[in-house]
Amino acid sequence: MKRFLIIFFFLISINLIHPFSFAAEKAAKPMSPGWSFKGFFGTFDRASLQRGYQVYTEVCASCHSMKHLSYRNLSQPGGPEFSEDQVKIIASQFEVRDGPNDDGEMFDRPGRPSDNFVSPYANDKEATAANGGAYPPDMSVLVKARMGGADYIYSLLLGYEEPPEGISLDDGVYYNKYMAGNKIKMSNPLSEGIVEYADGTKATEEQMAKDVTTFLSWTAEPHLEERHKIGFRAIVYLIIITILVYFSMKKIWSRVESEI
């Protein structure tokens, strides 16, 4: 027993285990609803991307920024593919801080397609203070930044439950079975009907979670479809080269008489 305690405290001292790790529940394995963009020939569902942008705008954008994305990206090939006129209207709905002007003063103006997505907060400190000390991460590359990718984000959005018996939560903390440690400071952002889709699709929690995750997967890898096309062409090219080399070598060696 004494030897076990010595080993136990030694492992704690070198951070191989955490003294309270046995009390935390293990996060559940993320769900995988099936993504159109997965696989060698995967492509993004345009309708889902547009619905996902709507969910981000109406539900997520009040807390989470998207600073690496500009409004004009919404019209680029491989993305939601809004028209240029639609993008101009979308951008103009936001106020952008600009300047200085000729008088040396900053001023606000309507957004332009070339502007990056407007952040809901002036800086990280304000974002942290407004969310009870928990900084809401930027969503531009969130899918790539989280282990499990799209499956994890989708599952996390649908993983809110009442805590099991014996588990107590502090104020402002919620139970999520897919979160590491099962505790999260973000309240459940989705509820059925919270968004009214422009295309008439029923806005269930599952549908909204899938659509916004699809959109976030695109923002993290906006050139995914182009990479798939380049990869396919490269493989076809290598196959053709291999065949040509094979027959060329066969023809060359056919002139050499084999020694018996």
184-206 pLDDT, tens per residue?
A: 999 999 999 899 999 999 999 99
pLDDT for the residue numbered 27: 81
Q: Does residue 65 share a domain with residue 47?
A: yes
Q: Using 50, 70 and 90 to split pLDDT, how confident is the model at 13?
A: very low
Q: Are residues 127 and 154 in the same domain?
A: yes
The count of domains in the chain is 2
Mean pLDDT for 209-238 is: 92
pTM of the entire predicted model? 0.81
| Residue 20, pLDDT above cutoff 50 | no
Whether 47 and 199 have beta carbons less than 8 Å apart is answered as yes
| Whole-number percent of the chain with pLDDT over 90 | 63
Confidence bin at 1 (pLDDT 50/70/90): low
Whether 218 and 121 share a structural domain: yes
3-class DSSP state of 177? coil
Q: Are 182 and 175 in contact (CB under 8 A)?
A: yes
User: Are 206 and 182 in a shared domain?
Assistant: yes
Q: Is-contact 175 160, C-beta < 8 A?
A: yes
Q: Is omega for the bond preceding 100 within 30 degrees of 0, making it cis? A: yes
pLDDT at 19 over 60: no
Q: Where in the sequence is the domain holding 65, given as residue range(s)?
A: 41-69+116-222
Residues 189 and 126 in one domain: yes
Q: Are 220 and 144 in contact (CB under 8 A)?
A: yes
93-120: pLDDT as tens digits = 999 988 888 888 899 999 999 999 999 9
What is the rounded distance in angstroms from the CA atom of residue 53 to the CA atom of residue 177? 26
**Burial of 79 from C-beta contacts in 10 A (0-12 / 13-18 / 19+):** buried
Model confidence at 239: pLDDT above 90? yes
What is the pLDDT at residue 172?
87
Do 174 and 237 belong together in one domain?
no
Instruction: Determine, yes or no, domain membership for 85.
Output: no
Q: What is the pLDDT of residues 118-131, one digit of tens each?
A: 999 989 999 999 88
| Cβ atoms of 154 and 31 closer than 8 Å | yes
Within-domain flag for 11: no
Tokens of 11: 């492992």
Q: Which residue has the higher pLDDT, 257 or 185?
A: 185
Evaluate whether 71 touches 115 at the Cβ level (below 8 Å): yes
